[in-house]
Amino acid sequence: MKLIQTIPELKALRARWRAAGERIALVPTMGNLHAGHLSLVEQVQTGADRTVVSIFVNPLQFAPGEDFDRYPRTLADDLAKLDPLAPDVVFAPSVDEIYPQGSPIATNVVVNGLVERFCGEFRAGHFVGAATVVTILLNLVQPEQAIFGEKDYQQLLVFRRMARDLHLPVEILSGPTVREANGLAMSSRNRYLSDEERASAAVLRQQLVATGRALRAGHRDFAALEQAARVQLRAAGFAPQYFNILSPELEPATSQHSDFVVLAAAVLGAARLIDNIRLDDPALAA
């Protein structure tokens, strides 16, 4: 496992891999790695000759007033966690390396429609910043495959749409959400929670499961289901931002749809948590 922090070094290695006809996979992250990130690395390693994990806390995707400055930067720990998986490269560039002309840059990747809604409504510029940096990382690494977590469902759709619209020569893969024992989706931002909040945080998953079960049982009063979940979230100390039953493409749900995703974001203490559920989630089978 090689740590690379400069673009010329990355390009030289990539050229050698290309010349040997090797297939490259990329796992973009912001570091502070947990089992969710590691599962994406393991998943993608099965189909690629070379795996690159990028670690870059991207200033462009933090809205004004968000946690860019205090976002956990834990490179030594991250390298120790990756070591047993032995990806070929950990690419951890500085902000100046990615944005030598300063940030923000003049060019943006905007996936119209998708980026303004749900999380986009509460995090100005977030998806544009994320899509722009992922485009940069794809251009630098030039992987055949890139993998993203289903926990960030809207983000996954943004990247899929971007790759399709721009004919990017990359296959976008996704990996299932890895959870704590109480159901809370693993996230670097969970460290902003107190022990007590971490216990209450499980209510977000519980409400998604309850809503998923109701949908599977044939309930179609979407507004009532959403409202009931918001009430439960407030009772558990959350400030819900949205809790919506949608089509898998994130259009408003109608009774004509046969498949749904429930998408939620809520603030608990100092942490903003997001999660979602699809109707094929194993928890709904019980």
Rounded CA separation 229/219 (Å): 14
Give the nearer residue to ligand AMP in terms of CB position, either 146 or 225. 146
Work out how close the CB of 177 gets to ligand AMP at its nearest, in angstroms, rounded to a whole number.
4
Work out how close the CB of 87 gets to ligand AMP at its nearest, in angstroms, rounded to a whole number.
14
Give the nearer residue to ligand AMP in terms of CB position, either 23 or 73. 73
Residue ranges binding ligand AMP (CB under 6 A) = 29-30, 36-37, 39-40, 148-149, 151-152, 175, 177-178, 185-188
Q: Is 37 a catalytic residue?
A: yes
Work out how close the CB of 253 gets to ligand AMP at its nearest, in angstroms, rounded to a whole number.
23
The active-site residue, picked from 34, 37, 219, 257, is 37
Rounded CA separation 161/163 (Å): 5
Asked whether the beta carbons of 237 and 263 are under 8 A apart, the reply is: no
Work out how close the CB of 32 gets to ligand AMP at its nearest, in angstroms, rounded to a whole number.
7
Asked whether the beta carbons of 262 and 243 are under 8 A apart, the reply is: yes
**In degrees to the nearest 10, what's the CA dihedral of 110, 113, 115, 119?**
180
Of the candidates 126, 122, 89, the residue with the CA atom closest to the CA atom of residue 104: 126
The alpha carbons of the chain give a radius of gyration, in whole angstroms, of 19
Give the nearer residue to ligand AMP in terms of CB position, either 58 or 211. 58
Give the nearer residue to ligand AMP in terms of CB position, either 185 or 215. 185
Cα-Cα end-to-end distance for the chain: 41
Give the nearer residue to ligand AMP in terms of CB position, either 205 or 230. 205
Give the nearer residue to ligand AMP in terms of CB position, either 24 or 172. 172
Work out how close the CB of 149 gets to ligand AMP at its nearest, in angstroms, rounded to a whole number.
2
Please return the burial class of 28, using the count of CB atoms within 10 Å of its CB with bins 0-12, 13-18 and 19+: buried
Work out how close the CB of 79 gets to ligand AMP at its nearest, in angstroms, rounded to a whole number.
15
Q: Which residues are catalytic?
A: 37
